């Protein structure tokens, strides 16, 4: 047996080695390009779309409840005084030569609380709608966080210095 044939195929081949080469020839390495499966993952896109839809739905419900609770517009009724009613003496204008300008205190606008504007039943409905909206927003936030963590590349967490 010639060892050169085993390493660089030079020299006289051994008949047993040739027979083994023929038998094992079908299992020989055959280079071919790497074929990766083209599986598309639509879960992150569907989760984002569902969370946006849920947020829009919650916002629409909130706007509808808010719009329903507003007071309807009212028309002001104007009555013009008749000459007979206007018999009082006319007061001089503020800031004229006879009267110096007076300091008129400004009215302080107090915002009305929700309890004084809405009846109890409507206030309870508004609070329930608010709770539902807050729950929907918390759920949406958690789902978006889940999608974010699943779509991020592998990140090493809790990195600490060694040594």
Domain boundaries, the chain: 42-65+118-150
Q: For the chain, what percentages of helix, strand and coil (3-state, to nearest 5) are there?
A: 50, 0, 50
**Nearest by Cα to 47 from 133, 149, 132, 135:** 149
Encode pLDDT of 28-38 as tens digits. Answer: 888 888 888 77
Q: By the 8 A CB rule, do 55 and 136 touch?
A: yes
Positions in the chain short of pLDDT 70: 1-2, 69-78, 80-117, 154-163
What is this structure's pTM?
0.27
Encode pLDDT of 39-58 as tens digits. Answer: 888 898 999 999 999 999 99
| Tokens, residue 6 | 């085993």
What is the spatial distance between Cα 95 and Cα 26, in angstroms, rounded to a whole number?
113
Q: How distant, in Å, are the alpha carbons of 17, 24, 57 from that of 13? A: 7, 16, 80
Task: Show the beta-strand stretches assigned E in the chain.
Answer: none
């Amino acid at each position: 047996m010639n060892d050169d044939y085993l390493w660089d195929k030079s020299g006289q081949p051994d008949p047993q080695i040739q027979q083994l080469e023929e038998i094992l020839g079908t299992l020989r390495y055959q280079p071919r390009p790497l074929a990766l499966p083209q599986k598309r993952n639509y879960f992150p896109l569907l989760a984002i779309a569902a969370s946006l839809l849920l947020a829009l739905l919650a916002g629409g419900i909130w706007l509808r409840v808010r719009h329903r609770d507003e007071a309807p517009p009212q028309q002001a009724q104007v009555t013009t005084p008749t000459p007979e009613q206007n018999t009082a003496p006319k007061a001089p204008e503020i800031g004229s030569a006879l009267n110096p300008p007076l300091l008129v205190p400004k009215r302080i606008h107090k915002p009305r609380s929700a309890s004084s504007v809405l009846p109890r039943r409507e206030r309870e409905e508004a609070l329930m709608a608010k709770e539902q909206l807050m729950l929907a927003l918390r759920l949406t936030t958690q789902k978006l966080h889940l999608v974010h963590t699943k779509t991020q590349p592998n990140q090493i967490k809790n990195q600490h210095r060694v040594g």
